[in-house]
Amino acid sequence: MKKKFEIETTTIETKFGDFRFHCFSWGKHEEDNILVLQNENIKTVPLVRIQSACYTAEIFRSLDCDCHAQLSKSQQLIAEHGGYLIYMLCDGRGAGLLNKVRGLELGRLQGMDTSEAYKHLNIEQDPRSYSRVSEVLNHFTLKEINLLTNNPRKIDAIASSGIKVTRTPLEIESTRSSAPYLKTKALKMGHMLSEFLK
């Protein structure tokens, strides 16, 4: 059966070590690509992190979420233990960067949290699809993974593709700036963040 994607691979050196760097492409637009950092030195069950782009935090280092810290911690853990960092080029939890900025402005002007802002904009709270991620995992013939996540939707999506999933928590302690966002994720979106679910 012909693959639905193209893949190109190289090796990159990072501050956490060297990784095989894969670009999986389903089309001509950047959003049709999934990037993968791979450390083949896997000791037991591979660690896998599935992360969606957060340009405000990862590029501009905004302080109102934990996305940059999660990305760095995941890369560090995968460098140490082996596994795969799967990076989806879809900001705003799949709603797009324009909608994300609209939501941020509603928060700034009207005090809405992320959940309220997305409802106001008639956007699903988390419209991401993980079907292409499952294709990537199947490409690497992974049958069992330790998934670095706090999001039960990710666990359910990957498990539904037939891969055995064990959750490995990836909790970043909140700051004064990030606490409102993380609290919303825990209380309104079901994320497993023990700091806010005591």
Which phi and psi (to 5°) does residue 18 adopt?
-85, 140
β-bridge partners, 167: 147
Question: Which is the catalytic residue, given 66, 91, 113, 126?
Answer: 126
Q: What is the dihedral of CA 184, 186, 188, 191, to 10 degrees?
A: 130
Work out the angle at residue 20's Cα, subtended by the Cα atoms of residues 47 and 86, and round it to the nearest 5 degrees: 45
Is residue 108 exposed (0-12), middle (13-18) or buried (19+ Cβ within 10 Å)? exposed
Question: Model pTM?
Answer: 0.93
* Catalytic choice (66, 108, 128, 153): 128
Can you list the domains of the chain with their CATH numbers?
6-90+129-176 (3.40.50.10990)
Residue 64 tokens read as: 């109102």
d(CA 59, CA 111): 25
Q: pLDDT-derived band of residue 2, with 50, 70 and 90 as boundaries? A: low
To the nearest 10 degrees (0 to 180), the angle between helices 131-139 and 152-159 is: 60
3-state secondary structure 98-126: HHHHHHHHHHHHHCCCHHHHHHHCCCCCC
Reduce the DSSP state of residue 153 to 3 states and report it: helix
**20 has catalytic annotation:** no
Helix (H, G, I), strand (E, B) or coil at 3: coil
Per mean pLDDT, which range of 75-89, 98-112, 158-172 is the poorest? 98-112
Q: Which two tokens stand for residue 141?
A: 């013939």
- Is 128 among the residues known to form the active site? yes
Q: Does an H or E element contain 166, and which?
A: strand 164-168
Which class for 98: exposed (0-12), middle (13-18), buried (19 or more C-beta within 10 A)?
Answer: exposed
pLDDT tens per residue across span 17-72: 999 999 999 999 888 999 999 999 998 899 999 999 999 999 999 999 999 999 99
Task: Please provide the DSSP assignment of 22-59 as one string.
Answer: EEEESSSSGGGEEEEEEE---SSSPEEEEEE--HHHHT
Residues paired with residue 87 on neighbouring β-strands, in sequence order: 35, 51
pLDDT digits (tens, 9 = 90+) for 133-162: 999 999 999 999 999 999 999 999 999 999
